[in-house]
Amino acid sequence: MIQSLSEHDREKLQDSLAHSGQKVTPQREIVFAVLLAKRDHPTVEDVFQRARESMPGLSLATVYNCLETFVGCGLVRQVNHERESTRYCPNLAPHAHFRDEATGHVHDIELPPEIIQSLRSILPPGFNSETIEISFHGRSQESAQRSTSN
């Protein structure tokens, strides 16, 4: 069962939504809370399952809607890997993703500003990039120290 949002997170939600002329709804609160509760890059289906524990009537379409809304107002990021289901991530700091082939798990990798800078610098003149997506693909020794939730 998902805990309700902290004062601070509720405010963040409220602000971001208001900023693009949208409202806080019970569904959006729960979907957002689900994302914050376990930062394991859940799929829509994952979010749906988890959110339903708190709100059994919630529909899948609404989860899609909420997540799209959040992406639109900059509250969360989408993470795509090959053709797999889209995953969602409330970590807004610049970071790359590491996809563990063995487990399918996705880890955030902190991205130092100078790396971003040097990447931007390899673009030929005339190319202006707003976003850069970096994903590593390999294996990690997960078994040891694990900290998917926070």
Partner DNA sequence: TTGCAAGTTGGAATCATTCCAACTCATTTC
Partner DNA sequence: GAAATGAGTTGGAATGATTCCAACTTGCAA
Name the site residues for DNA (rule: CB under 7 A): 17, 21-23, 25-28, 43-45, 55, 57-62, 64-66, 68-69, 83, 85-86
Torsion angles phi and psi, residue 95, rounded to 5: -155, 155
Number of residues that bind a copy of itself (CB under 8 A): 35
Rounded to 5°, angle at Cα 78 from 124 and 131:
20
Torsion angles phi and psi, residue 54, rounded to 5: -95, -25
By C-beta, is 103 or 150 nearer to DNA? 103
102 binds a copy of itself (CB under 8 A): no
By C-beta, is 55 or 96 nearer to a copy of itself? 96
- List the one residue from 141, 146, 147, 149 that touches a copy of itself (CB under 8 A): 141
Residue 113 near which of a copy of itself, DNA, none (CB within 5-8 Å, type-dependent): none
* Distance from C-alpha of 58 to C-alpha of 49, rounded to nearest angstrom: 10
Contact 97, 136 (CB under 8 A): yes
